[in-house]
Amino acid sequence: MIGTSATTALTIDSSSVVYAPDYSTLTNLSFSGSSVSLLAVQPDATINIKSNYDLWAVNDTQDIIFELDSRGNEVAGADLVVRYDKDFFQYQSMEWMNLFPNQHGFSVDQESGKITISGTANQGSPINAKGNMVKLSFLALSQTSEPKDFWLEWTSDSTTDTNVVAYNLINTDLLAFAPIAKSVTVGGGATLDFSFNLLHFLGTNVNRSGSITVAEPNVLSNFSTTLTSATGSVAGHNLGTFPFGSEYNLILKVDGYLKKAVSTTINIGSNSVVFGDLKPGDINNDGVVNSYDLYEIYNNWNVTWLPMQDLNADGKVNSFDVGILYSYFNNTDII
């Protein structure tokens, strides 16, 4: 260690190579008599393009996140010029993250597959950190035969495309090379044919909405079906994007009924699950049949065509619905 007493001599001259703790080479060594001063060259800032998945499901919406690492540099702001293949992806939304306090320019050109974004630090408070700048959501339009890239336009010494602006050095871009593109493949994903039985259901042509959740990683997908009997059946329902080929709990929720889970392996392509009986009475959808649900029935007594309170779907909220609710009183979600 330089600057501490030692029993052996340390000789540094113009031919020496000195390394910093991160093993980068220290340069600009200056010598004056017996003293030595060392000046490290600051590493360049980087931008990392990330996604939770490399394989997306067609018709699913997923995120692309842009992370800045200033790597010890003081940053005044950053501009992103994002490019993507418009034939396979469609921009959906943008979420400005917490790294830069000020968002300025933002524009989307879906026709060319180009998005521009700008952010700056506050005056007197440069950014010197690693964190996410922005999250962009895209809809996967169709399957790809090979990976497609999300990338950033960058040219050395240019101030009109992607850049990381130094705080105290005018017109200095702290990016030394183009950020690595993020490659995504769009596959057919997983579809699910599933069926369920609504206990005590008497109605016909009543539309029931609900959801399927792939538990852990908790991918939520909604559905809606018109029931002509107590049995509901939904075919070819897209489950979205998650790691395929593993066993998951599929959680079914139909409005007004308690949730029910079935464990099964979900593979790419078609899958099939029978959920069996769903218990009615969870009118407020809080996961338990109790006095709050009973209040919903009494508060709508004799009202016609209220699908949630009319538990047997016979067209009127009445004592039959009270009897059904008491049959499942204090029952909870089966998950």
- Is the predicted pLDDT of residue 27 greater than 80, yes or no? no
**What is the C-alpha to C-alpha distance for residues 287 and 282, in angstroms, rounded to an integer?**
7
Closest among 216, 186, 167, 203 to 312, alpha carbons compared: 203
Q: Which residue has the higher pLDDT, 34 or 80?
A: 80
Structure confidence by residue, pLDDT tens digits, 284-312: 999 999 999 999 999 999 999 877 899 99
In the chain, which residues fall in CATH 2.60.40.4130?
190-327
Structure confidence by residue, pLDDT tens digits, 221-280: 999 998 888 999 999 999 999 999 999 999 999 999 999 999 999 999 999 999 999 999
Looking at residue 3, its pLDDT comes to 44
* Position 6 confidence tier, pLDDT thresholds 50, 70, 90: very low
Looking at residue 199, its pLDDT comes to 96
Looking at residue 25, its pLDDT comes to 55
Kindly report which listed range (42-46, 191-195, 246-250, 313-317) carries the lowest average pLDDT score: 42-46
In the chain, which residues fall in CATH 2.60.40.680?
46-187
pTM: predicted TM-score of the whole model, two decimal places: 0.72
CB atoms within 10 A of CB 309: 20
320 SS3 class: helix
Structure confidence by residue, pLDDT tens digits, 147-184: 999 999 999 988 899 999 999 887 899 999 999 999 99
* Position 8 confidence tier, pLDDT thresholds 50, 70, 90: very low
Q: Residue 308 has which token pair?
A: 């949630």
Looking at residue 11, its pLDDT comes to 58
Please state which CATH class domain 190-327 belongs to. mainly beta
SS3 content of the chain, % helix, strand, coil (to 5): 5, 50, 45
Looking at residue 44, its pLDDT comes to 92
Kindly report which listed range (36-40, 61-65, 276-280) carries the lowest average pLDDT score: 36-40
**What is the C-alpha to C-alpha distance for residues 139 and 92, in angstroms, rounded to an integer?**
7
Topology classification of domain 46-187: Immunoglobulin-like (2.60.40)
* Position 37 confidence tier, pLDDT thresholds 50, 70, 90: low
- Is the predicted pLDDT of residue 321 greater than 50, yes or no? yes
**What is the C-alpha to C-alpha distance for residues 219 and 239, in angstroms, rounded to an integer?**
8
- Is the predicted pLDDT of residue 206 greater than 50, yes or no? yes
Q: Residue 84 has which token pair?
A: 């993507």
Structure confidence by residue, pLDDT tens digits, 178-202: 999 999 999 999 999 999 999 999 9
